[in-house]
């Protein structure tokens, strides 16, 4: 009987190879027989790609980089001032305003709105050719001077044609066109059907109820005004421009774990994109400088109030010591008294530092309880406080506040994202308040211990000789 594994064991490799050869031959024959379809498909694909590139307005990606400075924060109270920078504790680039905070600040709506306000992007000039429409950011063939205090039609195209004798032909058409009040930053009405045509001399004001401007022809512009291109200009709101740039702006940490932020912007006009990124860097620097100055001013004010009482006590003590030495002719004191004085001085310095920190903790607790806007709280690092949990909670709170500031356009308090942020901010505030209360309890225990030790050494002072005891006192 033939074993099962040997049944029907016939060679098949030759047959398989033969079938594969036949399949390849059939494929080649089929391709050759229908070659014109393949050629046609390639031609159509190339034609579509050509037409797309020909008639589509190009979109440029403009990039810039910012180095976020991260310092080891010190403070006037921490004793870590070896590098001479007594203000490094006020830095916004350390643990309180970390890399992610800066990314949120750079893409926040208020900052981008400030950039747009300073760039005067609300008026744009365009050339409409046979192939595509392109924006003329630099050197358009005409300039428009407009009145900010007069209502202006927005999101509608004002066409400009150049006529002999320095005359201009202006026209605008549209449906449901908004009329905007730039001074109050709001739409005041909508025009269901707008159609206006006029012929004016260049430099003559054009004034209607819905718009007001003056068009000046630029004789130095490098454009052929006799060609078939059409020119137009358009008003837009800074609010819509800020939304557009926020959408097209990307902030990335490149490479990861570094202190470098790469900023990229998608923009149809390359020169305009470069101008925006340059102004963004400038406004961002001004913002950070302003926040540093505010933080420094608040911290200096707090420290000055504490130093005032300390300096008064030191001045009185110094006067008393000099007066006592003069009256009692004391030149040298015993070694025991000197050691006792050193111990008392060290403990007293420690007590003063603990009391100052304790006052800061109480300030922080009261600030959290009584203020809705917590963006101006004095950073713990500025007071020489190195509490990881406290620092992380304040950093998290700052991040949430910055993120919330980017939603200034959201007026509905029931908006899901706004509700989520408010809930997160409230949760972090509660955690911060609980942590601060715990720290205050520990701080008061530490102060009680230092005061107890001071009482012990003061008792030892009573055992010194009378003259030295009076001197120490």
Q: What is the pLDDT along the chain (473 residues), one digit of tens a residue?
A: 444 444 444 444 445 555 566 677 777 777 777 777 778 888 888 877 766 666 666 788 999 988 887 654 444 434 444 444 433 443 443 433 467 778 888 988 889 999 999 998 999 999 987 777 888 888 888 999 998 899 999 999 999 998 888 889 999 999 999 999 999 889 999 999 999 999 999 999 999 999 999 999 875 555 555 555 789 999 999 999 999 999 999 998 877 777 889 999 999 899 999 999 999 999 999 988 887 777 777 777 766 766 666 655 555 555 555 554 445 444 445 555 667 777 777 888 888 888 888 888 888 888 888 876 666 666 676 666 777 888 788 878 877 877 777 666 666 677 788 888 888 888 888 888 888 888 888 888 888 888 888 787 777 666 555 545 555 55
Q: How far apart are the first and last CA of the chain?
A: 119
Contact call for residues 233 and 218 (beta carbons, < 8 A): no
| Contact yes or no for 152/180 (Cβ under 8 A) | yes
Determine phi and psi for 39, rounding to 5 degrees: -65, -45
Cα 205 from Cα 184, distance rounded (Å): 23
Tokens representing 385 are: 């406080």
- Give the strands of the sheet with 260-267, arranged side by side: 60-67, 260-267, 249-253
Q: Which residues contact 315 (CB under 8 A, 6 or more apart)?
A: none
Q: What is the pLDDT of residue 32?
A: 76
264 and 63 Cβ atoms separated by less than 8 Å: yes
Mapped onto helix, strand or coil, the DSSP state of residue 232 is strand
**Which pLDDT value is given to residue 170?**
95
The domain limits of the chain are 123-236, 288-472
Instruction: Write the CA distances from 3 to 6, 8, 11, 281, integer angstroms.
Output: 6, 11, 18, 84
Neighbours of 83 (CB within 10 A): 10
> According to the model, what pLDDT value does residue 232 have?
94
pLDDT at 57: 67
Q: What is the DSSP letter of 4?
A: G
Q: Residue 249: name the closest of 142, 111, 92 by CA.
A: 111
Cα dihedral 125→131→132→138 (10° resolution): -40
Predicted structure pTM score:
0.61
- Looking from the CA of 287 toward its CB, the CA atoms found within 13 Å total 20
3-state helix, strand and coil shares in percent for the chain, rounded to the nearest 5: 55, 20, 30
Give me the pLDDT at residue 86, please. Answer: 38
Residue 331 has what DSSP assignment? -
pLDDT score at 104: 84
pLDDT at 96: 38
* Alpha carbons 138 and 140: distance in angstroms, whole number: 6
Q: Whole-angstrom Cα distance, residue 353 to residue 382? A: 13
């Amino acid at each position: 009987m033939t074993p099962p594994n040997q049944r029907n064991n016939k060679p098949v490799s030759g047959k398989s190879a033969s079938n594969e050869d036949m399949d390849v031959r059939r494929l080649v024959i089929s391709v050759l027989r229908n070659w014109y379809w393949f050629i046609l498909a390639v031609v159509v694909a190339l034609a579509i790609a050509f037409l797309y590139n020909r008639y589509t307005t190009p979109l440029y990606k403009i990039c810039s980089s910012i180095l976020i400075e991260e310092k080891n924060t010190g403070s006037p109270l921490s004793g870590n001032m070896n590098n001479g920078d007594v203000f490094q504790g006020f830095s916004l680039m350390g643990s309180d305003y970390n890399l992610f905070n800066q990314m949120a600040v750079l893409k926040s709506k208020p900052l981008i709105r400030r950039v747009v306000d300073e760039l005067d992007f609300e008026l744009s000039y365009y050339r409409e050719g046979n192939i595509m429409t392109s924006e003329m950011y630099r050197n358009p063939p005409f300039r428009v001077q407009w009145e900010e205090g007069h209502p202006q039609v927005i999101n509608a195209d004002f066409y400009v044609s150049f006529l002999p004798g320095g005359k201009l032909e202006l026209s605008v058409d549209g449906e449901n066109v908004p009329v905007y009040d730039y001074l109050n930053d709001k739409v005041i009405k909508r025009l269901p059907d707008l159609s206006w045509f006029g012929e004016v001399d260049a430099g003559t004001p054009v004034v209607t109820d819905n718009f007001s401007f003056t068009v000046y022809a630029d004789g130095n512009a490098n454009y052929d005004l006799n060609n078939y291109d059409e020119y137009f200009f358009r008003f837009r709101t800074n609010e819509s421009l800020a939304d557009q740039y926020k959408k097209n702006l990307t902030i990335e940490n490149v490479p990861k774990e570094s202190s470098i932020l790469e900023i990229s912007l998608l923009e149809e006009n390359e020169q305009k994109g470069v101008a925006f990124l340059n102004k963004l860097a400038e406004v961002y620097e001004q913002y950070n400088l302003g926040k540093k100055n505010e933080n420094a001013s608040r911290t200096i004010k707090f420290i000055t109030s504490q130093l005032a009482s300390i300096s008064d006590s030191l001045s009185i003590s110094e006067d008393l010591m000099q007066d006592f030495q003069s009256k009692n002719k004391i030149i040298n004191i015993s070694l025991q008294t000197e050691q006792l004085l050193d111990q008392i001085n060290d403990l007293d310095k420690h007590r003063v530092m603990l009391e100052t920190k304790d006052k800061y903790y109480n300030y922080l607790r009261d600030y959290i309880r009584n203020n809705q806007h917590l963006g101006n709280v004095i950073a713990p690092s500025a007071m020489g406080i190195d509490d990881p949990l406290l620092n992380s909670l304040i950093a998290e709170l700052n991040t949430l506040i910055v993120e919330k500031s980017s939603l200034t356009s959201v007026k509905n308090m029931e908006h899901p994202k706004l509700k989520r942020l408010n809930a997160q901010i409230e949760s972090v505030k509660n955690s911060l308040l609980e942590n601060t209360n715990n720290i205050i309890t520990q701080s008061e225990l530490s102060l009680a211990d230092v005061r107890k030790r001071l009482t012990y050494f003061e008792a030892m002072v009573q055992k010194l000789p009378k003259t030295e005891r009076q001197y120490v006192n």
